[in-house]
């Protein structure tokens, strides 16, 4: 099984994925010569980088036939684009940075943005935390399994037990969950899901959550 965490990808590797995504159209394969021109790198260097990304399962490469992103590689490209968008919005809308400069700075910052800062920016900008949760699942676990290792509780199956990995929390929700034994490292089971209500069991007992709260709890299978 090939697996790649974005934390293990270098800035140059992320930029190569981003460039492949930008050059691809209608899911067509991208020529290495076009990548070399766009990145101002030697063709041999581009080929070597693509082969490394292929070893990670992020691209599909055939000599003389070009390259395209795999499903896992597209997830990485989506997260990079998400980071760029929130950084550009923050720089232009909040700090008043001019468009070209904001885009340039956002492009540099997107590769070093931590998950915690990313979450705080999305919260500050009023972005749906559930959408961020879904992106984060791709980011921390990019693999070929049909079922990801990490899921929001809102996407968990009834009867399954897992370990709380992290919580996208506000102070009020944090206090409630902590009192119910929902904290990183603790086990919980989704006993039943009734519409938008999730019945959960922890070592502290049974309790119910609404969908919004459940979407903020990331569970490791």
Q: CATH 1.10.10.10 residue ranges in the chain?
A: 1-147
Determine which of 8-12, 17-21, 123-127, 132-136 has the lowest per-residue pLDDT on average: 132-136
Percent of the chain topping pLDDT 90: 29
Options 3.50.50.60, 3.10.580.10, 3.20.20.70, 1.10.10.10; CATH of 1-147: 1.10.10.10
Work out the average pLDDT over 130-155: 58
pLDDT digits over 20-79, tens only?
999 987 668 999 999 999 999 999 999 999 998 888 888 999 888 899 998 888 888 888
Among candidate residues 77, 86, 85, the one with its CA nearest the CA of residue 53: 77
Question: Which of the two residues, 108 and 8, has the higher pLDDT score?
Answer: 108
Work out the average pLDDT over 119-132: 74
**C-beta of residue 199 within 8 angstroms of C-beta of residue 192:** yes
Contacts of 68 (CB under 8 A, 6+ apart): 20, 24, 27, 28, 29, 30, 59, 60
Contacts of 182 (CB under 8 A, 6+ apart): 164, 167, 188, 200, 202, 217
pLDDT digits over 160-208, tens only?
898 887 776 556 777 788 888 888 888 999 999 888 899 999 988 898 9
CA torsion sign, 123 to 111 to 3 to 66? positive
Does the domain made of 150-220 have the CATH classification 1.10.3720.10? no
């Amino acid at each position: 099984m090939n697996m790649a965490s974005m934390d293990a990808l270098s800035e140059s590797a992320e930029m190569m994925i981003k460039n492949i995504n930008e050059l691809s159209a209608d899911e067509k394969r991208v020529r290495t010569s076009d990548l070399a021109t766009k990145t101002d790198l030697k063709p041999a260097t581009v080929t070597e980088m693509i082969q490394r990304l292929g070893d990670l399962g992020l691209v599909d490469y055939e000599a003389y036939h070009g390259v395209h992103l795999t499903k896992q590689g597209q997830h990485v490209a989506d997260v990079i684009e998400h980071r760029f968008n929130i950084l550009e919005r923050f720089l232009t809308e909040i700090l008043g940075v001019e468009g070209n400069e904001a885009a340039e700075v956002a492009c540099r910052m997107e590769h070093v943005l931590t998950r915690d800062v990313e979450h705080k920016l999305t919260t500050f900008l009023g972005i749906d935390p559930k959408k961020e949760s879904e992106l984060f699942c791709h980011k921390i676990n990019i693999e070929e399994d049909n079922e990801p290792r990490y899921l929001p509780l809102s996407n968990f199956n009834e009867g399954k037990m897992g370990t709380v990995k992290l919580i996208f929390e506000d102070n009020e929700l944090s206090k409630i969950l902590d009192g119910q034994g929902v904290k990183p490292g603790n086990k919980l089971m989704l006993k039943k899901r009734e519409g938008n209500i999730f019945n959960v069991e922890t070592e502290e007992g049974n309790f119910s959550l609404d969908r919004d709260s459940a979407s903020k709890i990331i569970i490791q299978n």
